[in-house]
Amino acid sequence: IASTDGPAMTVRSVTIGSSGSATASTFSATAANNLVLFTFISSLTAATILVNARKTGILRRATATPVGVPMLLAGITLGWFVLAILQSTLLIVVGSLLFGVEWGRIGPAIALVALFALVGCGAGLLVGAIGNDEDRVASITPPIGIVLGALGGCMVPLEVFPPVMRSISRFVPHSWAVDAWNQLMVHGAGWSEIGTNLLMLSGFAIAMLTISVLVMRRTLLRP
Quote the pLDDT of residue 10: 60
Enumerate the H helices of the chain as residue ranges: 28-45, 47-55, 58-62, 68-99, 106-130, 134-151, 163-169, 173-187, 195-221
The pLDDT value recorded for residue 223 is 59
CA-CA distance, 53 to 60, in Å (whole number)?
Answer: 9
Low-confidence ranges of the chain (pLDDT < 70): 1-26, 223
DSSP-based three-state secondary structure for 27: coil
Q: What is the pTM of this model?
A: 0.83
CA distances from 141 to 37, 135, 200 (A): 12, 10, 23
For the stretch 80-118, pLDDT in tens is 899 899 989 999 999 889 888 889 899 999 999 999 999
Cα of 172 vs its chain's centroid, Å? 10
